[in-house]
Structure 1
């Protein structure tokens, strides 16, 4: 049995330790925010926070999350930080198809929680594991910068 905290609630599973976290989240917990894009850890669409660090859930066997705190976009969307990031992404025109956005938002949260006032270079590095094929990174960088400025004291 594997026990961990998922979006603020203690949960457990009896799934085999080799099951990927993304599969457990989507299939067993019906959390559809993390999406499988590449399945190889290259695109970031499946990004979640594991103990406050952004991780690709397609690469994590659930045996590695015993006792960890996992936050998905499904749980994060109820926070004040999400509301601000969402507004800033929209204001900066950083959302088009939306496929990459859950992973980008989780990477944004991880970055801003560790560095509330990042430089442009630090923002680009913070989202570097996430691919966007539609919007382009400049608008996403602008959105994160805007959130950092508007969210003074939030992170």
Structure 2
């Protein structure tokens, strides 16, 4: 990962991570919208104890969000121990991608469960997951805060258009 970040500016790093985040969000939103459009006439909204998908999906959703936050924090702790900005950003990028995927995955699963059962409860939960994923959008301020950049590392990161050395 570190070799791919050579000769990159902080601005390019943030743009790259933002584009990846946007692609994940757009993918799940399009999939969900198409699924809703195809099944809009057969949609129902019921909470039945007989539906095994409805029993396991909340566990999948909560598990995905919980694991995304837990793994992100653990990987962030490793990133903060790095001594150079390139290594920190590489670790941050990996941590962010894992966080995004662990939120997107359960949203996709909810959409598939809706596709199989026509129960809109799955889409409602998937919609909450998608909204949470949108809120995870990377920004320069958020990255700087998450990595607790101080001193020279912060100065390097704030020179947005200069290549990181």
User: TM-score when scaled to structure 1?
Assistant: 0.27
Greater strand share, 1 or 2?
1
Q: Greater relative contact order: 1 or 2 (C-alpha under 8 angstroms, separation 6 or more)?
A: 2
Greater helix share, 1 or 2?
2
Q: Which protein is bigger by CA-based radius of gyration?
A: 2
